[in-house]
Chain A
């Protein structure tokens, strides 16, 4: 069984992002494996270990530096990697076409994992576009998955904490959610071993991706400005407590 995991090289969530020329970010920050993809890799490795002659392949489109993210995936247990090297930005339409081309050239997927979203663009599209291109069923924000030779039974978390259970025929595409598992840190020996695993490189232009008639591009990026204004809450203790509760529930939406 070949299990592909699409991974993305994204800025560290803790990085201070600076916007340049209104349309791109200053890339002089740490880039890491997209956190949702860590769940995808962890699950793919778990499933691989229950099927004989299975392998996990991490696939990524990005600049050459994105090889580091593939190596992280290899350190977490993936067996080999594919990097489609490109210095340009690609919209989700093209990204899905590139991933499909890279996957088709190297094997026959039984399962394709993605993260449920990337923490930089938050587009949430790749898994659906891949599913459409391959004509595979798709489920996203998956928090549980059981796989046998022909099908996957998955739990998908909806808003409000509701869970739907689906049965998908294989091959299928699965968007990993945070509740799927707890990713483990790679062990020191696995980090060292990951350097010896192969990462096959494709040049974007060599894949002859059919251009799409539709396209998306970034018009403008704006930094998030968090407005902070003090508010005095008055009244006796029970009124103050009630007002705070209302704010936490309705404005901050944290409870």
Chain B
């Protein structure tokens, strides 16, 4: 059994040395229970649960997958038991309002528990994660009656939840959906339509499934403006909370996928017999607005899913490289008597591990920072401060989802590479992590959609104020780093990179509002790459600054860790930053070739 699936030392660093997670206990009465020691204990218990219970079901979940028999979805054998354990221990709604069964934990601190859970078995955790997200919709937009009827049972995990958006003709373009809602005399709505790709849409691990469902009320406007949100249970719920009749929500099949086999991906027929009833969640025709409020959170969660795969793949790769003996040391290549060494001694393997290290560390800090911003927004004393942190979340969300999952897949691929031929064999976990990770680049808004969001909405949001505020924060890090002589040279290079991004962002923003709009959007993904790189540089500089400060008085066992953080910065600045500059030069060209090329010029 593995002892480690993620780097606990680095988690502790991000929580307590970079973002001072324990300080929230004194900053706000709602967080008073969560001082540093309590957070540490929660993280330790999350680790124990992840390693003892979730991890052993990871491979089994992949091999067994979900099956569809006689109209029912059967999940991997071990999932039901683990799902019950997760709920008995009340982990599902860590950060939510205690009034509705949540635990009221700061989001920053919950990051570590989510990382452990997802690194251990994220296809399983999707059932819980989607339930949490659907519950959050009920909490935010539900009537008192809807909350009473559904919310506690969702936050306790007794019933699960989904997000029922996608249809055969409405994927990235949600506005094209055709599911209809017809108002009944009693105020409920009859729902009719077909949904596809519904994660956790049907399963056998809980008694009921609550589907927040997007549909168009008869006569509503076309497009996204005419979409409403409904709560549609799989089994109808009586007024006293007991289960009633089936609600004509029928799973018609499941997908056979590249990865996340343990999570059912369902096609659902709503109201095939005309007996599917839902209640309106929020206001009529405001369904997209409600979904958008949830979008940031769901996208961040997907960032965590991809990142958790990368985080685990990195740890596996490091451990493997320390143990696997193969080949002589390069300097002793000609010596026939030289003994073979562990592969961590080979420069190219060391580079692969370094590559994994810098992006795992940078991404961890970035994701935790977004959650830190959520907590800061919650405890903000002024409206201005709250808006500032909410602005940061808005700007960073496409990067936390799009850029992080792009890099996460690269990292998982490196993890396979470190294992060599064995990495390609399913006996070792890195192959599954690679497969499972891939979907995170696609669902919850493809990474192309994320890039367009960054260019089209986030750069110019509130006349660019959030992004300029964020640059302000980044320059503070640079100023702190410059005070440390050993970091000054790197800090100057990072600062130049920041300044160049401002230039590129302005250029791209203008191009997007000019006749070059198509060319601009053809370059949206490279812009997300460059912006994400800059965020990595920011985080790595921030981390190195802390490490340099602490190194002097560090305990013996912490010295290699802090020195490693300094090396992460050096590696990024030496090896990666020039590539980012190159990306930016490419963006200044804003090549129109991709849009100018005639579709007929592609092979037929």
Residue of B with least CB distance to A16: B3
- Flag whether A191 is at the interface (Cβ < 8 A): yes
| Interface pair A186/B89, CB less than 8 Å apart | yes
Residues 5-26 of A contacting B (Cβ, < 8 Å): 12-16
| Interface pair B3/A75, CB less than 8 Å apart | no
Q: Residues of B contacting A187 with CB < 8 Å?
A: 88-90
- Flag whether A32 is at the interface (Cβ < 8 A): yes
| Interface pair B2/A14, CB less than 8 Å apart | yes
Nearest CB on B from A174, distance (A): 25
| Interface pair B41/A32, CB less than 8 Å apart | no
Nearest CB on A from B192, distance (A): 40
Q: Residues of B contacting A16 with CB < 8 Å?
A: 3
Nearest CB on B from A42, distance (A): 14
Main secondary structure of the interface of A (DSSP, over half): loop
Nearest CB on A from B549, distance (A): 23
Question: Chain A, 178-217, contact with B by CB distance < 8 Å: what is the 0/1 string?
Answer: 0000001111110110110000000000000000000000
A189–B38 Cα distance when bound, in Å, is: 11
- Flag whether B48 is at the interface (Cβ < 8 A): yes
CB contact under 8 A between A75 and B90, given known A29-B3, A195-B38: no
| Interface pair B41/A194, CB less than 8 Å apart | yes
- Flag whether B42 is at the interface (Cβ < 8 A): yes
CB contact under 8 A between A12 and B94, given known A185-B89, A186-B45: no
| Interface pair A14/B3, CB less than 8 Å apart | yes
Residues 60-112 of A contacting B (Cβ, < 8 Å): 68, 71-72, 75
A187–B93 Cα distance when bound, in Å, is: 12
Nearest CB on B from A146, distance (A): 26
- Flag whether B91 is at the interface (Cβ < 8 A): yes
Taking a contact as CB atoms closer than 8 A, the residue among A15, A29, A188 that contacts B91 in the complex is A188
| Interface pair A75/B37, CB less than 8 Å apart | no
A189–B33 Cα distance when bound, in Å, is: 10
Nearest CB on A from B60, distance (A): 18
Taking a contact as CB atoms closer than 8 A, the residue among B41, B85, B91, B94 that contacts A71 in the complex is B41
- Flag whether B35 is at the interface (Cβ < 8 A): yes
| Interface pair A14/B1, CB less than 8 Å apart | yes
| Interface pair A188/B38, CB less than 8 Å apart | no
Inter-chain contact total with CB atoms closer than 8 Å:
62
Taking a contact as CB atoms closer than 8 A, the residue among A12, A192, A195 that contacts B103 in the complex is A192
CB contact under 8 A between A191 and B85, given known A14-B2, A68-B44, A75-B45: no
- Flag whether B553 is at the interface (Cβ < 8 A): no
Residue of A with least CB distance to B1: A14
A192–B38 Cα distance when bound, in Å, is: 6
Q: Residues of B contacting A159 with CB < 8 Å?
A: none
- Flag whether A234 is at the interface (Cβ < 8 A): no
- Flag whether A150 is at the interface (Cβ < 8 A): no
- Flag whether A50 is at the interface (Cβ < 8 A): no
A189–B266 Cα distance when bound, in Å, is: 34
Nearest CB on B from A102, distance (A): 22
A187–B3 Cα distance when bound, in Å, is: 22
Q: Residues of B contacting A188 with CB < 8 Å?
A: 42, 89-91, 94, 103
Nearest CB on B from A77, distance (A): 13
Residue of B with least CB distance to A193: B33
Residue of A with least CB distance to B51: A14
Nearest CB on A from B135, distance (A): 16
A16–B51 Cα distance when bound, in Å, is: 15
Residue from B34, B90, B557 with most neighbouring chain A CB atoms (10 Å): B90
| Interface pair B45/A191, CB less than 8 Å apart | yes
Residue of B with least CB distance to A26: B557
Q: Residues of A contacting B37 with CB < 8 Å?
A: 71, 195
Residue of A with least CB distance to B48: A32
Residue of B with least CB distance to A195: B38
Nearest CB on A from B35, distance (A): 7
Taking a contact as CB atoms closer than 8 A, the residue among B1, B48, B103 that contacts A189 in the complex is B103
Q: Residues of B contacting A189 with CB < 8 Å?
A: 90, 103
Question: Chain B, 1-38, contact with A by CB distance < 8 Å: what is the 0/1 string?
Answer: 11100001000000000000000000000000111011
Taking a contact as CB atoms closer than 8 A, the residue among A29, A185, A191 that contacts B38 in the complex is A191
| Interface pair B3/A195, CB less than 8 Å apart | no
- Flag whether B392 is at the interface (Cβ < 8 A): no
Nearest CB on A from B90, distance (A): 4
A213–B179 Cα distance when bound, in Å, is: 84
Q: Residues of B contacting A242 with CB < 8 Å?
A: none
A72–B40 Cα distance when bound, in Å, is: 12
A188–B96 Cα distance when bound, in Å, is: 13
Nearest CB on B from A177, distance (A): 19
Nearest CB on A from B3, distance (A): 4
Residue from A32, A72, A187 with most neighbouring chain B CB atoms (10 Å): A187
| Interface pair A184/B88, CB less than 8 Å apart | yes
Question: Chain B, 209-250, contact with A by CB distance < 8 Å: what is the 0/1 string?
Answer: 000000000000000000000000000000000000000000
Question: Chain B, 76-105, contact with A by CB distance < 8 Å: what is the 0/1 string?
Answer: 000000000100111100100000000100
Residues 144-196 of A contacting B (Cβ, < 8 Å): 184-189, 191-192, 194-195
A138–B45 Cα distance when bound, in Å, is: 32
Residue of A with least CB distance to B323: A16
- Flag whether B114 is at the interface (Cβ < 8 A): no
Residue of A with least CB distance to B322: A16
Residue of A with least CB distance to B556: A28
Residue of A with least CB distance to B87: A187
A195–B3 Cα distance when bound, in Å, is: 25
- Flag whether B409 is at the interface (Cβ < 8 A): no
Q: Residues of A contacting B42 with CB < 8 Å?
A: 188, 191-192
A229–B543 Cα distance when bound, in Å, is: 47
- Flag whether A246 is at the interface (Cβ < 8 A): no
Residue from B35, B37, B41, B91 with most neighbouring chain A CB atoms (10 Å): B41
Residue of A with least CB distance to B113: A188
Nearest CB on B from A130, distance (A): 28
A68–B43 Cα distance when bound, in Å, is: 12
A32–B49 Cα distance when bound, in Å, is: 13
Nearest CB on A from B397, distance (A): 27
Taking a contact as CB atoms closer than 8 A, the residue among B8, B33, B41, B49 that contacts A185 in the complex is B49
| Interface pair A191/B41, CB less than 8 Å apart | yes
| Interface pair A12/B3, CB less than 8 Å apart | yes
Residue of B with least CB distance to A184: B88
A192–B48 Cα distance when bound, in Å, is: 16
Q: Residues of A contacting B41 with CB < 8 Å?
A: 68, 71-72, 75, 191, 194-195
Nearest CB on A from B152, distance (A): 15
A230–B533 Cα distance when bound, in Å, is: 50
A12–B40 Cα distance when bound, in Å, is: 17
Residue of B with least CB distance to A29: B3
Q: Taking A28-B557, A192-B34 as given, write out 11 further A-B residue pairs in contact, using a Cβ cutoff of 8 Å, ordered by the A residue number.
A: A12-B3, A13-B1, A29-B3, A30-B3, A68-B41, A71-B37, A185-B53, A187-B90, A188-B94, A189-B103, A195-B33
A–B complex contacts, Cβ < 8 Å, 19 sampled = A16-B3, A28-B557, A30-B8, A30-B47, A68-B40, A184-B89, A185-B88, A186-B45, A186-B89, A187-B88, A187-B90, A188-B42, A188-B90, A188-B103, A189-B90, A191-B42, A192-B33, A192-B103, A195-B35
CB-based closest 8 A-B pairs: A14-B3, A188-B90, A14-B1, A195-B38, A185-B89, A187-B90, A15-B3, A187-B89
Residues of B with Cβ closer than 8 Å to A?
1-3, 8, 33-35, 37-38, 40-42, 44-45, 47-49, 51, 53, 85, 88-91, 94, 103, 557
Residues of A with Cβ closer than 8 Å to B?
12-16, 28-30, 32, 68, 71-72, 75, 184-189, 191-192, 194-195
